Amino acid sequence: MIKVSGYQLFAATVFFQLGTTVVFGFASDAGRDAWIAILLSASIGMLVILGYTVLANMMPGLTLVEWFPKQFGPWLGIPIAWLYPLLFIYDAARGISDLEGLVPVTLLPGTPTWVILGCMMLVIVYLLFSGVEVIFRLAGLLLPIILLSFLLELLLLLSSQSIILSNIFPILGEGWGRVWKSVWPFGILQTFGETIEFAMLWTFLKQDGKLTRINLIAVMVSGITITVFDMFAIMVLGESVFQRNVYPLLVLLKQLSISDFLDNLDALGVMHFMTTTLLKITLHLITAVLAIRKLTRSQGYRLPILIAAAVTLWTGSNMAQSVADHLFVGTRILPYNLWIPLFLVIPGILLTVAWIRKQQEPGYE
């Protein structure tokens, strides 16, 4: 029987929430107030995830796609449940598209894109074949390394004398408008609302009673990490450069050098990006495969993995003509058309129905 520890769940959740967010510059539309948008997004995201854990505690032993048939009945619940693995595969394809846009122009400029994406997908398929426990163990192993490297980069930035504290002032000089625009809906849903996927994995947790605490601590860690990097990017680069660049973290790390002989440390940023993206795509696909197995009552898992991986690779490779198109869909179309209904509206209705039914149970006080 598959079981994961609380630390492993915490590590996987932090990786999932960091994803590509740090590299792309979270809430850059808010300019020098981006760090406020992050803290606000994390606070609201914490409440959203709290709602997901309440649902999990109300239906112990059931995964995300089993919640809907239980509360809505099979005729309505199963079609709704199918929307989630399809969305998870699509979100995994967006991760592939992220890699397609960044890696060829940074680490491997002379390598054909199909080689890069193909190799990444082979690694992901290997992890999927290895199983849930291996994926969680890998997350637990890599998290301290990634966080220590983040800390090292921050220390180097502090010693570089390139920080201009005045760049973050005046705070809220242009009001709350652009801050809230960055928070809703993208800031809340892209980083934190997507965590609903872990409802496919929470049943593997050894200590059920710690589910809520693990998730809330994970949100705090990922939220603080993103906030710190955005603040440093604003202080070093200034508001205009931070807003203009697609990959502000890489521009930030380019400012670093050690004793004038070790530079180009933006490669570290690309490695962070590849590590967090690889794990996030893997988690997207393992939750999708588990959901499909539940819905089809299938015992096998190799064929669903291969099909999901092939669809993800093809979709991600052909998703957008440019990085600008990719980001436009991700920030302006996807949140309103898919994320709000599937991450907020339907779970909110489900929570209301489950609570009403709980009230009507015999002996409930």
| CATH code, domain with 54 | 1.10.4160.10
CA separation for the pair 287, 194 (Å, rounded) = 12
Percent of the chain with pLDDT over 70: 94
pTM over the 0.75 mark: yes
pLDDT tens digits for range 83-116: 999 999 999 999 898 888 777 766 677 778 888 8
Residue 361 is assigned to a structural domain of this protein: no
Amino acid at 246: V
- Give a yes or no: residue 1 inside a domain: no
**DSSP SS3 for 324:** helix
Residue 356 lies in a domain: no
d(CA 285, CA 291): 10
pLDDT (tens digit per residue) in 252-279: 777 766 656 556 666 677 777 788 889 9
- 358 in a structural domain: no
Q: Decide which of 239 and 161 is more confident.
A: 239
- The dihedrals phi and psi of 4, each to the nearest 5 degrees, come to -125, 150
Task: State the total domains in the chain.
Answer: 1
Q: What pLDDT sits at residue 135? A: 95
Q: Tokens 């990097």, residue?
A: 229
- Any domain includes 34: yes
Q: Are 117 and 100 in contact (CB under 8 A)?
A: yes
Tracing tokens 């009673």 back to the chain, one arrives at 209
CA terminus-to-terminus distance, the chain: 35
Q: How far apart are CA 98 and CA 100, in angstroms?
A: 5
Q: Is residue 357 part of a domain?
A: no
Q: Which residue has the higher pLDDT, 3 or 346?
A: 346
Whether 18 contacts 226, CB under 8 Å: yes
CB atoms within 10 A of CB 119: 11
76 part of a folded domain: yes
Render pLDDT for 38-84 as a digit per residue (tens, 0 to 9).
Answer: 999 999 999 999 999 999 999 999 999 999 999 999 999 999 999 99
Q: Which domain holds residue 279?
A: 6-347
Instruction: Give whole-number Cα distances, 111 to 26, 103, 105, 108, in Å.
Output: 29, 9, 10, 5
- State pLDDT tens for residues 235-253: 988 888 888 887 787 777 7
- Domain assignment present for 359: no
Give CA–CA dist 230/27, Å, rounded: 9
